[in-house]
Structure 1
């Protein structure tokens, strides 16, 4: 009899549960248009949830047995919330219906605030709505860099080394890939204040880098290949000097190459600023994986409209923008104003913000630039920051204030170099004139890069200063380097579903 009871219990358990760790994957589409819905919120409970990617795809792992009462709750701004039972879950597409707002509810909630009154309440709320205190944030971060060589020409005008000729240079240029992508993914816990410039500590739980150094599209890659060629042909005790302002070792501009064409004071300051910015970024990278990534993530947490110094300053400089209440909607049970903004004259951004009608916090903003953010041209070197667009979504955290839940940003830059290049071989043991050989020509390069960053915060807990000080970092944590995308690497972890470019990543095999 006892055996029969145990058998019956186990039979019932198999009916109402599945194994203790299950991954559910699907795609979210608009029921009316059949288009993917990005940034949909897929929630299992208060501690387990993910965001759909650009293509509406998601994958969520539940680390306990599933019961007959368990469901996924899928919600998104402007759509009806839906619930999916998990016990008989299939990978079928999930369709969300556009949500119709009840006009009576609008009139009851709206209170007929003008756009000027709403903007003033948003500004007043900056002091109380957004968190600057200590908190522990469990998060997933992904950075993808895509580079393309739009133009690459080197014309040899003179060479006293027969082996270094136009044919060799053309062959070298053809060998270097014109397109490249690399990706960094990190799951970790960030400790510290939300306030800008505050010290942060990080516990990296797991990290990887998909990187193909041999095919990186950058000028340093070309520099290495040119160096290898010149070293092959210089004489013993010789060295060579490159004058172009191109290579990373000679970033300063040798103005003697340009006769009377001298940069003015303002151009010199712009050049110094550009180089200082690059050196700062390089030094941060060299400081170590953990230090660089935690500083970058903390910068993202503050890279938005709350800061008066930020580029996305449409609230602080509201007089320079036109605003219009376009609609009303629901977002995670919040009633929100849908307000568009665009520049009156020369400001840089346009977009849409979603404002909680209860506390006047901006809970989401979609933005894109309408003008290049930066244009730089000096003595054949040009740089244009032509793209900055993204979405920022906020949520109420463990401190009962708003902080970033999800952020997706794309930043585009185009760098061009069109100027003469001179390579001079000198020998330190030759008396008098040390010059031995010379290669002279012109270079014309244009390289475009897109940097895409994604950040999702799964959980935010209040933290005391004592807790922060007591936490000890492991400073030498390094990512695992992968030569191709491995779907098993993040198995069992909740992350943002990778896009097709990441799934297809594979490093080139170099002989």
Structure 2
């Protein structure tokens, strides 16, 4: 009988772990009243935390140090905190109960604070509440790039190469993908403080998820273009590329990549050496880009005076309103809205702990284009910058960044004449050989989303920071389809449904 009981308990414990082989607790957190998923909920276990994605999903890695009696705590603004031993989480859906707002003695005592006075105390308490010095942070960055071609109008004015006719250009434009989405993910340890230029990164693993068939179209078009050029253009020619007032020069040999003779050992060895060098350069560039992206997000946290979200340090530039009281667990929270009086860029909400006056969350969105440039037919508008920043209290009793989410939207246009002229100084007579002249009217747009999750942060000394040396040898692993096993054994923010459903046409083509 005891053996049977033990066997039943083992099955229950295994059921707790989503796909028991992954040894993780995976669930969706919902509102008990509406049954709708709750995004950005903090889930903590033994001072380690994860956060739910926008669909309320989370996955928590259960390592060998975790016991079934250890308690998991789930907290979110406006809901009662849920805490109980892991063994009691046997369902894949977890309900949180909305908390009724009743003014406790702290709120009653502080209720006469104006929003301006609250923010003044927040600013004065920053050094007490936050670690702004050097730290080592385990971070996960997910970048989503959605690129769109909005408009592709043109007028063919002249072409002395018959193959470059309207049909060819229409065919070229029709094959260019109008909408393409790329997902990049990276996990690593970030060393540094608030300065984006003083960050160091130890990359652990990275992936890229996109449809390579989008690239194949460009390769085919490039082959067609090169074939036409090689048949009609002299190799010692050069090109003048003009767009109204602008012009540049390109040699013909720069436009064609010559094939390496497979019997030429020296040439093959040089090509292999070049490819190896390029791969090393790619590794350096990839690590540098990730480090700079993470560093710039950290540098722009609202607890730094140089932040674009400067409401804590320059509250006089905003219209402030104490909109509401709510709770994060048992902690009462002020909810303050801010809107610019004149020229500031952002509006949003601040959630401030009424006990220690720490900013625990900020929601923000731009109220006007952050950049709006137009000159001689070239335009660029950064029309969107919106997201949220969430801080959580760590085991050192200070607040640390736990989640940073920002979406940026940009539209660009090119409305100009474009002229490509082939010239050759070695041909007798006129240097001008061929000409392709168009008037183009193209519009492009993209929305880029950056999600930075911090799972663990440890304060380090200046000497520890200085002694760490980067040695990044990681390049992202390409995935044509979403692979749920790629991040097995690592804590990340759960992918949304769009990522989980991603299937490219690459394998069909191949």
For the aligned pair, the TM-score class normalised by the smaller chain equals 0.7 to 0.9
**Partner deviation per Cα, 1:191-212 (whole Å, 9 max, x = no partner):** 22x2324522222222112244
Confirm whether residue 479 of structure 1 aligns to residue 480 of structure 2.
no
Aligned residues of 2:205 and 2:474 also touching (Cα < 8 A) = no
From 431, 442, 458, give the equivalent of 1:461: 458
Report the counterpart of residue 172 of structure 2 in structure 1.
172
Looking at structure 2, the residues matched to 190 and 213 of structure 1 have their Cα atoms a distance apart, in angstroms, of 30
**Does the aligned pair in 2 maintain the 1:187–1:206 contact within 8 Å?**
yes
State the shift of 1:501 in Å.
2.5
| 2:39 corresponds to | 38
Kindly indicate whether the alpha-carbon contact (under 8 Å) linking 2:384 and 2:409 is maintained by their aligned counterparts in 1: yes
Whether 2:491 is the aligned partner of 1:490: answer no
Structure 2 matches for 1:195-234, cutoff 5 A? 195-197=194-196, 199-212=198-211, 215=214, 229-234=228-233
Structure-2 separation of matches of 1:224 and 1:340? 56
Asked if the contact 1:125–1:360 (Cα under 8 Å) also holds between the matched residues in 2, the reply is yes
How far has the Cα of 1:24 moved from its partner?
2.2
After superposition, the C-alpha distances for 1:477-510 in whole angstroms (9 at most, x for unaligned) are 2222222211110122221111223223344436
Q: Is the 8 A contact 2:302 2:310 kept in 1?
A: yes
Indicate whether 1:357 and 2:354 are aligned.
Answer: yes
Is 2:144 the partner of 1:147? no
Q: Is the 8 A contact 2:176 2:218 kept in 1?
A: no
Deviation at 1:105, TM superposition (A): 3.3
Structure 1, unmatched stretches of 5+, are 246-251, 256-283
| RMSD over equivalenced CA pairs, Å | 3.2
Say if 1:317 and 1:10 are closer, same or farther in 2 by CA, change over 3 A.
closer
Q: 1:160 to 1:377 in 2, by over 3 A?
A: same
CA change 1:102–1:303 in 2 (3 A) is same
State the 1:456 CA deviation. Answer: 1.1
Paired residue for 1:446?
Answer: 443
The aligned counterpart of 2:276 is none
CA distance in structure 2 between the aligned counterparts of 1:319 and 1:187, rounded to whole angstroms: 39
Looking at structure 1, the residues matched to 492 and 196 of structure 2 have their Cα atoms a distance apart, in angstroms, of 27
Distance 1:232 1:352 in 2: 62
Cα distance in 2, alignment partners of residues 313 and 199 from structure 1: 22
Matched position secondary structure for 2:443:
strand
The question of 1:426 aligning with 2:427 is answered: no
2:368 paired residue number: 371
Aligned-pair CA distance for 1:169? 0.4
* Distance across 1 between alignment mates of 2:216 and 2:362: 33
Report 1:68-83 matches (<5 A). 68-83=68-83
Tell me the residue number matched to 1:410: 407
CA distance 1:190–1:221, shift in 2 (3 Å): farther
Contact kept in structure 2, 1:392 and 1:408, CA below 8 Å: yes
Aligned CA distance change for structure 1 residues 79 and 221 (closer, same or farther; 3 Å) = farther
Contact 1:338 1:355 in 2 (8 A): yes
Aligned ranges for residues 27-66 of structure 1 at < 5 Å? 27-47=28-48, 49-64=49-64
Distance in 1 between the 2:223 and 2:385 partners?
31
**SS of residue matched to 1:87:** helix
Contact between 2:240 and 2:247, CA under 8 Å: does it hold in 1?
Answer: no
Compared CA separation, residues 310 and 462, structure 1 to 2 (3 A): closer
What is the 5 A alignment of 1:323-402? 323-397=320-394, 400-402=397-399
Aligned-partner Cα distance in 2 for 1:106–1:254: 68
Matched residues in 1 for 2:84 and 2:68: separation?
11
In structure 2, the residue matched to 1:270 is none
1:355 is displaced (CA, Å) by 1.2
* Distance verdict in 2 for CA 1:159–1:72, change over 3 Å: same
Query: Where does 1:151-300 land on structure 2 (aligned, <5 Å)?
Result: 151-192=151-192, 194-197=193-196, 199-212=198-211, 215=214, 229-244=228-243, 253-254=246-247, 287-300=284-297
Equivalent position SS for 1:103? coil
- Once residues 342 and 219 of structure 2 are traced to their aligned partners in structure 1, the CA distance between those partners, rounded to angstroms, is 39
Q: 1:227 to 1:52 in 2, by over 3 A?
A: farther
1:43 to partner: Cα distance: 2.0
Report the alpha carbon displacement of residue 224 of structure 1 after superposing the two structures with TM.
Answer: 8.9
For residue 167 of structure 1, report the CA deviation from its aligned partner. Answer: 1.0
Preserved CA contact (<8 Å) 1:61 1:492: yes
Deviation at 1:221, TM superposition (A): 11
In the alignment, the residues of structure 1 paired with residue 312 and residue 217 of structure 2 have an alpha-carbon distance, to the nearest angstrom, of: 37
Whole-angstrom distance in 2 between the partners of 1:338 and 1:224: 59
SS at match of 1:171: helix
Q: For 1:288, what is the secondary structure of its paired residue? A: helix
Shift in Å, 1:78: 0.8
**CA–CA distance in structure 1, aligned partners of residues 13 and 66 of structure 2:** 5
**Which moved further from structure 2: 86-95 or 463-472?**
86-95
Q: Distance in 2 between matches of 1:60 and 1:166?
A: 56
Whether the 8 Å contact between 2:372 and 2:382 is mirrored in structure 1 is yes
Cα distance, 1:85 vs structure 2: 5.0
Per-residue deviation, 1:433: 2.3
Per-residue deviation, residues 220-275 of structure 1 (Å, max 9, x unmatched)? 99989766654453234333332238xxxxxx9449xxxxxxxxxxxxxxxxxxxx
Q: Number of paired residues?
A: 471
Following the alignment from structure 1 to structure 2, what is the Cα–Cα distance between the partners of residues 17 and 328? 39
